[in-house]
Amino acid sequence: MSAGPRLDPCLDDAPSSGTACGTIDMSVVICTAGRPAALARMLASLATADAPRCSWEVLVVDNLPAHGQVDAVVAAHGRRLPLRVAAEPRAGLARARNRAIGEARGRYIVFADDDVTVDAGWLRAYEAAFEASPDVSVFGGPIVPVFERASPRWVEAVRRHAPSSYAWLEADASVVLSPLGEGGIQPFGANFALRFDALSRAPFDVAWGRQPNRPRLLGYEEVLLVDALLRDGARGRWLPEARVLHHMPRSRCTRRYLDDYWYAVGWAEGVLTARGRAVGAPAEADLLRRSQRRRRRRWRKVRWWAGPEKWVPALRDAARARGRCDGFAEAEAGTA
């Protein structure tokens, strides 16, 4: 891969330490915070994957550096991978990802979560796409959940009606990456890539993303960034060969988890709607309340007697509507 033109990033939130962006072809970024076992599993999968032929690096961003857990994990894999570590002491996934942008040397940045493992062809799939599509700025690949214990008997209903509960994303090569609400799909943060020069226009919004002191925030920083890029005219490409497995702990195999997840999705949508960044929710408080009451009634009707094909979408809609109401109200009151 030949070096191409780039734009210097404007990232006041995460200043570069002086590394030269664009001096290599690909940076694989893994942000982690207090999960050394998951990080070790992820790095082991990278070490056994087919290595790309291009110049590349693995950049681990430690978002909990005071605990000192990352160095030992990285040292154990340092001989098998081109590893570097960067520290971001300020808590929050968006801040960690912005730190990665400031530190990465690749012309393309591939983001993967620390709780995934990659297929053998994952690196080569991204490398081939970067070479074949130099005009594309956004790439994404499939995510398939793997459960720590036997998967819940209702997991197939979740796959059909609420797949994002587990960041479950599968599609064939014909799918189109498009802005929210325009009929295509968007990649999830556990498995996506961006061309570096596109990031200079829109880094991750640090008001969003997972943060330890704000449990309602389950993400959205990558959703907003990718949506902004695609709306600005950036091209996207789906890579069905670039698959990762997303490891699910027991705590996510409950109805409570589904309720909490969809409440958080709705809360984010309510906040964005109140701030004029609508993502499909009704834009008036009374409409939101009516929607919530209607969905709550349906959930109460089916929660105890219906099978998963009915209660999963009913739970999803009720929790999401409740979250939208709360998020909208809190944003209007200035407390979100």
pLDDT tops 50 at residue 2: no
Burial 235-270 (b: 16+ CB within 10 A, else e): ebbbbeebbbbbbbeeebbeeebbbbbbbbbbbbbb
The number of residues in the chain equals: 336
Name the one residue in this structure whose structure tokens are 């964005």.
Answer: 272
- Cα 165 from Cα 84, distance rounded (Å): 32
Q: Is residue 13 part of a domain?
A: no
165 in the same domain as 35? yes
Residues 71 and 149 in one domain: yes
| H or E element at residue 76 | helix 70-77
The predicted model gives 154-159 an average pLDDT of: 94
- Name 129's Cβ contacts closer than 8 Å, sequence gap at least 6: 136, 139, 193, 237, 239, 242
* Domain identity same for 80 and 195: yes
Band the pLDDT of 293: cuts 50, 70, 90. confident
Please indicate, yes or no, if residue 65 is contained in any of the structural domains: yes
Those residues whose C-beta lies under 8 Å from the C-beta of residue 5, and which sit 6 or more positions away, are 197
Mean pLDDT over 83-90 rounds to: 96
CA dist 203 → 94, 196, 198, 252 (Å): 9, 10, 9, 30
**Whether residue 33 sits in one domain with residue 138:** yes
Domain assignment present for residue 3? The answer is no
β-pair partners for 236? 138
In the chain the beta strands, taken as DSSP E runs, fall at 24-32, 56-62, 83-87, 106-113, 116-118, 138-140, 143-147, 191-195, 236-238, 244-248
Q: Is 202 within a domain?
A: yes
Please indicate, yes or no, whether residues 200 and 226 belong to a single structural domain of this protein: yes
172 shares its domain with 309:
no
- H helices present in 182-284, as ranges: 196-199, 221-231, 255-274
Residue 166 neighbours by CB distance under 10 Å: 25
DSSP category for residue 91 = -
Model confidence at 101, pLDDT cuts 50, 70, 90, reads very high
Max Cα–Cα distance, the chain, nearest Å = 60
Does any domain span residue 190? yes
Same domain? For 274 and 172 the reply is no
Collapsing DSSP states into helix, strand and coil, what is residue 311? helix
Query: Is residue 15 scored above 50 in pLDDT?
Result: no
Same domain, 70 and 187: yes
Q: What is the pLDDT of residue 336?
A: 72
Could you tell me which residue, 320 or 200, shows the higher pLDDT? 320
Does residue 146 register a pLDDT over 90? yes
- Taking alpha carbons only, the member of 31, 89, 91 closest to residue 213 is 91
C-alpha dihedral, 187 to 224 to 101 to 4, nearest 10°: 70
- The pLDDT of residue 300: 77
In a domain, 5, yes or no: no
Q: Which of 251, 266, 288 is the last residue of a domain?
A: 251
Among 9-13, 297-301, 314-318, which range has the highest average pLDDT?
314-318
- Residue 129 inside a domain? The answer is yes
Q: Is the pLDDT of residue 215 over 60?
A: yes
Q: Stretch 114-119: mean pLDDT, rounded?
A: 98
- Residue 209 is predicted with a pLDDT of 65
**Does 1 have pLDDT greater than 50?**
no
Residue 35, domain CATH: 3.90.550.10
Final residue in a domain of this structure, among 251, 284, 313: 251
The more confident residue out of 300 and 306 is: 306
Q: How many CA atoms lie within 13 A of 111 on its CB side?
A: 27
Query: Global pTM?
Result: 0.87
pLDDT of residue 6: 24
215 and 293, same structural domain?
A: no
93 and 192 co-located in one domain: yes
In this structure, the answer to whether residues 306 and 322 fall within a common structural domain is: yes
Token pair listed for 78: 């340092």
**Residue 84 confidence (pLDDT):** 96
Residue 143 or 298, more confident: 143
pLDDT of residue 202: 57
| pLDDT at residue number 313 | 95
Percent of the chain exceeding pLDDT 90 equals: 62
From 48-52, 138-142, 152-156, the region with the lowest mean pLDDT: 152-156
The residue out of 204, 232, 251 marking a domain boundary is 251
Per the structure, the count of domains in the chain is: 2
49 is a domain residue: yes
pLDDT value of position 279:
53
> Which domain does 135 fall in, by range?
24-251
Q: How far apart are CA 314 and CA 303, in angstroms?
A: 8
- What is the structure's pLDDT at 285? 67
Q: In the predicted model, is pLDDT for residue 274 greater than 70?
A: yes
Do 129 and 263 lie in one domain? The reply is no
3 versus 242: the higher-pLDDT residue is 242
